[in-house]
Amino acid sequence: MIILASASPRRRELLKRICDFEVRPSDCDEECDIKEPQALVRELSKRKAAAVSGDVVIAADTVVYHEGKILGKPRDAKDAALMLRSLSGKTHEVYTGVSVKKDGAVRTFSERSRVKFYDLEDALIDEYVASGEPLDKAGAYGIQGKGCLLVESIEGDFFNVMGLPVARLYRVLLEMGAI
């Protein structure tokens, strides 16, 4: 049985496209001093996979990287609005690290996508933040929801921006004999 070590509804939705699985969210420590986004998401996905038992465990972590800063989930609505204002009219990167654990072996990879935002009006930011949607998402937006109104263009894997690079994960699962 494949285990998804995440409570993310977006990851559940995406993983359903390629396999059957159970959800067992990881409760590992996510405090980390790593400042480089690709290394950070890889490390956190490894920790999450290690913290959950199962035949095959899939764990992931996603961050937004902008102007030398890692943007995780906002602390509150004010923090979400600040993040969105900082991303307005600019390009940022979204990194997702994924670890697959099977029979004691762990395979970890990361994916990067570049996202350009439109210039955002204060009213749109305020309305979006008031919807509550940005509060549980890295970088304070969800491209699959109302956050799609913010995005001018994407370079790379769209599903990576949602939090799980499905096509690459599928290939890793095949290579490991997990599906």
What's the number of domains the chain is made of?
1
Name the 3-class secondary structure at 57: strand
pLDDT of the residue at 29: 83
Least confident of 57-61, 68-72, 168-172: 68-72
* pLDDT tens by residue, 114-173: 999 999 999 999 999 999 999 999 999 999 999 999 999 999 999 999 999 999 999 999
Q: Which residue has the tokens 């991303």?
A: 87
CATH code at position 151: 3.90.950.10
- Percent of the chain at pLDDT above 70? 100
Q: Helical H runs in 36-165?
A: 37-50, 77-87, 122-130, 158-162
* pLDDT tens by residue, 36-53: 999 999 999 999 999 999
Angle between helices 77-87 and 122-130 (to 10 degrees): 140
Strands (E), the chain: 2-4, 22-23, 56-66, 69-71, 91-102, 105-117, 151-155
Domain span at residue 97? 2-175
What residues are labeled active site?
Answer: 61
pLDDT of the residue at 72: 87
pTM for this entry: 0.95
DSSP 8-state assignment for residue 134: G
